Amino acid sequence: MKIKTKKQLNLPQLIEWAWDNPELSQYKMFEKIGATMRDYVSFNNEENGVRLNGTVKPTDLFTVEVEEEITEDTVIPKLVEIYKDFLGGTEILKHEYKSINKVKDEEALYFYILNDDLTITLIWRDGKLVE
């Protein structure tokens, strides 16, 4: 299963990511996190070019959206589990920085990723990852 996540990269990591992913970075502006002015990096991948606007340092952070393949061993920052309790009802539990394999047992029904915007994405049910 593949999911989209947001990652924070410093300037050298951003440049490397952009050159490795021209279809995701071409003609896009990546604004510096916490910028008070218009400090950003943009890419013209036809010529492998990088443009800096404003003051950008190598340690500044930028946010990119990446698509990752996940497995039951992938550590997920905010993992939500729905499981059957001992009375036959259902309960909800949030795990931080855990994998499904680390926390699942025979009572597990569903696992979701809790996204930054507080929506959830179903990733596991019926004993396996969703397609």
- Alpha helices (runs of H) in the chain, residue ranges in sequence order: 11-20, 22-25, 100-103
**CA 94 to CA 44: how far, in whole Å?**
41
The 10s digit of each residue's pLDDT in 11-37 is: 999 999 998 888 888 888 899 998 877
**pLDDT of amino acid 93:** 97
pLDDT greater at residue 46 or residue 126: 126
CB 30 within 8 A of CB 41: yes
**pLDDT of amino acid 45:** 61
The 10s digit of each residue's pLDDT in 60-94 is: 999 998 888 999 999 999 999 999 999 999 999 99
**pLDDT of amino acid 26:** 85
CB 42 within 8 A of CB 18: no
Q: Fill in the amino acid letter for 90.
A: T
Q: How much is the mean pLDDT over the chain? A: 91
